[in-house]
Amino acid sequence: MTVLITGASGFIGSWLTLRLADAGQNVTAQMRRAPSALFEQLGLCEHANVDVVVEPSMESVLTATQPETLYHLAGMSQVGEALRSPAVAMEANGRATWLLFEALRQMEVPPNTVIASTDSIYGETSGQAATEDFPTNALGPYEVSKLMADTAARSYAWVFGLPVTVARLGNVYGPHDANGARIVPSIVSAVSQGNRPVLRGGGRAVRSLLYVEDCIKALRLLAEKAGADGVQGEAFNLSGDPPMTTLQIARHTLDAFGFADVDPEIIEGAPGETSEKFSSPQKAERVLGWRPETPFEDGIKSVYSAWKEAQ
Amino acid sequence: MTPTIDQTFAGRSVLVTGHTGFKGSWLSLWLHSMGAKVAGFSDQLPTDPCAFELCSQAPDFGAGDHRGEISDLAAVKAAMEKSQPSVVFHLAAQPIVRAGFSDPYTTFATNVMGTAAVLEACRMMPSVEAVVVVTSDKVYDNTGSPWAFRETDRLGGHEPYGASKAAAEIVAMTYQSAGFHGAAGSLSTPRIATARAGNVIGGGDWAADRLIPDFVRAIAEGRDQKIRQPRATRPWQHVLEPIGGYLLLAHALLSSPETTPEAINFGPIEATMPDVEEVATLFLDAAGATKTKLIVDEDKNAGEAKTLRVDSSLAGQILGWTPSWTAREAIARTADWYRAHLDGSNDLRELSLAQLADYRRATPVAALKG
Q: pLDDT for A54-104, tens place per residue? A: 999 999 999 999 999 999 999 999 888 999 999 999 999 999 999 999 999
Q: Which of A27-41, A162-176, A188-202 has the lowest mean pLDDT?
A: A188-202
In B, minimum Cα distance to A203 occurs at: B146
pLDDT of residue A200: 82
Q: What is the pLDDT at residue A156? A: 97
Residue of B nearest to A243 (CA): B271
Q: Which residue of A has its CA nearest to B326?
A: A128
Q: Would you call A243 and B271 a contact, using CB atoms and an 8 Å cutoff?
A: yes
Q: Which chain B residue's Cα is nearest to A260?
A: B147
Please determine, for residue A271, whether its predicted confidence score (pLDDT) is greater than 90: no
Across the interface, of B145, B271, B328, the residue whose CB is closest to A245 is B271
Burial class (CB in 10 A: 0-12, 13-18, 19+), A229: exposed
Best of A183, A241, A248 to substitute, by most chain B Cβ atoms within 10 angstroms, is A248
From A96's Cα to the closest Cα of chain B, the distance in A is 36
pLDDT in the model for residue B270: 81
Is A297–B313 a contact, with Cβ atoms under 8 angstroms apart? yes
Contacting residues of A for B274, CB less than 8 Å apart: 127
Local confidence pLDDT in tens for the 370 residues of chain B: 467 899 999 999 999 999 999 999 999 999 999 999 999 999 999 888 888 888 766 677 888 999 999 999 999 999 999 999 999 999 999 999 889 999 999 999 999 999 999 999 999 999 999 999 999 999 999 887 888 899 999 999 889 999 999 999 999 999 999 999 999 999 999 999 999 998 899 999 998 888 999 999 999 999 999 998 888 887 789 999 999 999 999 999 999 999 999 999 999 878 888 889 999 999 999 988 888 999 999 877 665 546 678 899 999 999 999 999 988 899 999 999 999 999 988 789 999 999 999 999 999 999 999 8
Handedness of CA A202, A205, A211, A212 (dihedral sign): negative
List chain A residues with CB under 8 Å of B147: 247, 251, 263
User: Which residues of chain B have a CB within 8 Å of the CB of A127?
Assistant: 272-274
Look at A297 and B269 and tell me if their CB atoms are within 8 Å.
no
Residue from B143, B147, B277, B314 to probe the interface with A (highest A Cβ count within 10 Å)? B147
Q: Is the peptide bond before A67 cis (omega within 30 degrees of 0)?
A: no
**B145/A263 CB distance under 8 A:** yes
Cβ contact A242–B270 (<8 Å): yes
Q: Which of chain B's residues have a Cβ under 8 Å away from the Cβ of A243?
A: 271-272
Chain B: residue nearest A265 by CA?
Answer: B146
Nearest residue of chain B to residue A274 (CA atoms): B272
pTM: 0.86
Q: What is the pLDDT of residues A214-246, one digit of tens each?
A: 999 999 999 999 999 999 999 999 999 889 998
- CB within 8 Å: B272 and A276: yes
Task: Scan residues 183-212 of A and list those with Cβ closer than 8 Å to B.
Answer: 203-204, 206
With vertex at residue B208, the alpha carbon angle to CA B206 and CA B214, rounded to the nearest 5 degrees, is 70
Sorted by where each starts, the structural domains of chain B and their CATH numbers stand as: 5-201+236-269+308-326 (3.40.50.720)
Q: What is the pLDDT of residue B302?
A: 60
Judged by CB atoms closer than 8 Å, whether chains meet at B272 and A297 is answered as no
Q: Which residues of B touch A300 (CB under 8 A)?
A: none
Q: A–B: how many Cβ contacts below 8 A?
A: 32
Look at B269 and A242 and tell me if their CB atoms are within 8 Å: yes
- A-chain residues near B271 (CB < 8 A): 206, 242-245, 248, 276, 278
Cβ distance A127 to B147 less than 8 Å, yes or no, reads no
Q: Which residue from A203, A244, A297 is facing B146, i.e. has the nearest CB?
A: A203
Interfacial A residues in 211-250 facing B (CB < 8 Å): 242-245, 247-248
| Interface membership of A272 toward B (CB under 8 Å) | no
- B148 contacts on A by Cβ (under 8 Å): 248, 251
Instruction: Confirm or reject contact between A297 and chain B (CB < 8 A).
Output: yes
Question: Can you give the pLDDT at residue B228?
Answer: 85
Nearest-Cα distance to chain A for B271, in Å, is 5
> CB–CB of B146 and A244 under 8 A?
no
Examine the pLDDT at A21 and tell me if it is beyond 50.
Answer: yes
**Cβ contact, residue pair B271, A244, below 8 Å:** yes
Main-chain dihedrals φ then ψ at residue A235, nearest 5 degrees: -115, 145
Query: What DSSP string runs through chain A?
Result: -EEEEETTTSHHHHHHHHHHHHTT-EEEEEESSSPPHHHHHTT-SS-TTEEEEE-S-HHHHHHHH--SEEEE--S---HHHHHH-HHHHIIIIIIHHHHHHHHHHT-SSPPEEEEEEEGGGG---TTSPBPTTSPP---SHHHHHHHHHHHHHHHHHHHH---EEEEEE-EEE-TT---TTSHHHHHHHHHHTTPPPEESGGGT-EE-EEEHHHHHHHHHHHHHTTTSTTTTT-EEEE--SS-EEHHHHHHHHHHHTT-TTPPPEE----GGG--EE-B--HHHHHHH-------HHHHHHHHHHHHHHH-
